[in-house]
C-alpha cells in the first residue's frame, strides 16, 4: 500500500474530511473542482464548476444557486491517528504540566500497525460550497459528456469537491509499523488538550520522516466531496440497474442520491452502459440521517489495488 493511502486511511476518523498526503494548493483543488484521482493518487482536474466563463466556453450546463462559505480563524492541535501519541522530552504533549511556549523536540509514536500525524501552521482556512444537492443536479445533466470526453474517468470515476481545509504550511508523516516513531523539532505551545505549532516551527530542523508542504495560497490538508464510482455493464443488466436506480438514498436535508446511467459507444461503434454510483466522502454537509449507504474508498485511495502487487 502506498504512503498516501496509509495516511488517508489512518486519519479517516477526523471530521474535517478526507486527508490528503500529496501536496495540492488551493488553486488546484477547491469547492467546485471536478476531476479524478488516478492510479498514483495524483489529482487530474477537468472543470471548475464555480467558473461561469469556463463552463460557457466548454458548452457545459451552468451551476446556479451555490454559495461558498469560509472561515479563516481556525487553529488546530496536532492531528493524529488512533493509537498515535506525542511525547516531548518524556512528557506527553497532552499533559497540562507542559509549560506554554515551551520548545524542543516532539516525538510521535504509534502502538498500532500504522499511524499518521498532521501538524498545521495556523490559521486554517475552511471553504465549503452549499448546497451540495446542486452538484448532483449538475452531474445528472452533464455526466454523459464528462464520460465521453474524459475516458480516464470511466476507470477512476469523477469527483466534485465540496469542502476543503487548508493552511500556508503543514508537516505530515506516516508511521508504517507498530512502535514506529517520528521526531520533529519545533517551538510548542501546549495546553491540557494538545499542541499547536508556533509561528516559527517550520524553520526548525525535522527528521527525514516528515514531509513539509508550503504554498502562499494554501495547501489543502482535508477535502470532502461527492465521488461518482463508475461501473460498466452489459445491455442485459440494464433492467436490474434501472430498478436499483429507483432506490434512492435519502440523506435528510441533503436531498437524495441516485445512480446515474449513461449510454455510451466504443470507438468501433459497440454500445454499452456506464453506471455512476454517487458516494459521499468526508463530511459533505451537516445534518440529515444517512440510510442504506455503504461508503467505500474510491480509486486513488486506500482500497485501490496496485497492479504490480
Task: Give dist(CA 67, CA 70) in Å, integer.
Answer: 10
* pLDDT greater than 50 at residue 306: no
What is residue 307's predicted lDDT score, i.e. its pLDDT? 35
Task: Quote the pLDDT of residue 194.
Answer: 45
Whether the predicted pLDDT of 249 surpasses 70: no
Take residue 102 and report the three cell numbers written for it: 515551551
pLDDT score of 160: 96
Helix, strand and coil percent figures for the chain, each rounded to 5: 15, 40, 40
Q: What is the pLDDT of residues 129-188, one digit of tens each?
A: 999 889 989 998 998 889 888 889 889 999 999 999 999 999 999 998 888 888 877 665
Q: Which three cell numbers stand for residue 34?
A: 471536478
| Cis amide linkage into residue 135, ω under 30° from 0 | no
* Residue partners of 43: CB distance under 8 A and separation at least 6: 22, 24, 28, 29, 35, 36, 37
**Looking at residue 197, what is its pLDDT?**
52
pLDDT at 286 over 70: no
User: What pLDDT, on a 0 to 100 scale, did the predictor assign at position 237?
Assistant: 58
pLDDT at 243 > cutoff 70: no
Q: What is the pTM of this model?
A: 0.77
81 pLDDT above the threshold of 70: yes
Structure confidence by residue, pLDDT tens digits, 194-210: 445 544 444 444 444 78
Question: Please, is 203 exposed, middle or buried when counting C-beta atoms within 10 Å of its C-beta (0-12, 13-18, 19+)?
Answer: exposed
Mean of the per-residue pLDDT values for the chain? 76
Task: Give the pLDDT band of residue 292 (cuts 50, 70, 90).
Answer: very low
- Strand segments (E) across the chain: 18-19, 33-37, 43-48, 67-74, 79-80, 84-88, 91-92, 103-110, 115-121, 124-130, 158-175, 181-190, 195-197, 210-233, 249-250, 256-257, 260-265, 271-281
pLDDT of residue 44 exceeding 70: yes
Amino acid at each position: 500500500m502506498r504512503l498516501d493511502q496509509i495516511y488517508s486511511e489512518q486519519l479517516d476518523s477526523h471530521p474535517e474530511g478526507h486527508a490528503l498526503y500529496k501536496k495540492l494548493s488551493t488553486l488546484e483543488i477547491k469547492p467546485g473542482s471536478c476531476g479524478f484521482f488516478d492510479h498514483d493518487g495524483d489529482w487530474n482536474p477537468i472543470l471548475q464548476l464555480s467558473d461561469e466563463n469556463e463552463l460557457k466556453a466548454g458548452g457545459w450546463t451552468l451551476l446556479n444557486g451555490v454559495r461558498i462559505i469560509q472561515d479563516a480563524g481556525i487553529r488546530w492541535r496536532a492531528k493524529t491517528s488512533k493509537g498515535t501519541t506525542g511525547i516531548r522530552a518524556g512528557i506527553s504533549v497532552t499533559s497540562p504540566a507542559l509549560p506554554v511556549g515551551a520548545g524542543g523536540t516532539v516525538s510521535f509514536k504509534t502502538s498500532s500497525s500504522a499511524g499518521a500525524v498532521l501538524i498545521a501552521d495556523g490559521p486554517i482556512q475552511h471553504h465549503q460550497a452549499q448546497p451540495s444537492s446542486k452538484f448532483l443536479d449538475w452531474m445528472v445533466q452533464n455526466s454523459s459528456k464528462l464520460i465521453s470526453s474524459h475516458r480516464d474517468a470511466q476507470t477512476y470515476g469523477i469527483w466534485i469537491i465540496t469542502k476543503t481545509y487548508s493552511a500556508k504550511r503543514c508537516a505530515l508523516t506516516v508511521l508504517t509499523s507498530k512502535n514506529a516513531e517520528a521526531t520533529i523539532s519545533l517551538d510548542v505551545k501546549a495546553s491540557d488538550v494538545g499542541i499547536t505549532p508556533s509561528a516559527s516551527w517550520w524553520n526548525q530542523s525535522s527528521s527525514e520522516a516528515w514531509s513539509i508542504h508550503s504554498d502562499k495560497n494554501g495547501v489543502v490538508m482535508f477535502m470532502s466531496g461527492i465521488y461518482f464510482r463508475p461501473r460498466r455493464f452489459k445491455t442485459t443488466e440494464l433492467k436490474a440497474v434501472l430498478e436499483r436506480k429507483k432506490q434512492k438514498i435519502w440523506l435528510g436535508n441533503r436531498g437524495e442520491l441516485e445512480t446515474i446511467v449513461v449510454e455510451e459507444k466504443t470507438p468501433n461503434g459497440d454500445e454499452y452502459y456506464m453506471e455512476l454510483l454517487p458516494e459521499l466522502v468526508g463530511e459533505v454537509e451537516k445534518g440529515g440521517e444517512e440510510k442504506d449507504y455503504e461508503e467505500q474508498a474510491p480509486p486513488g485511495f486506500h482500497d485501490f489495488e496496485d497492479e504490480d502487487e
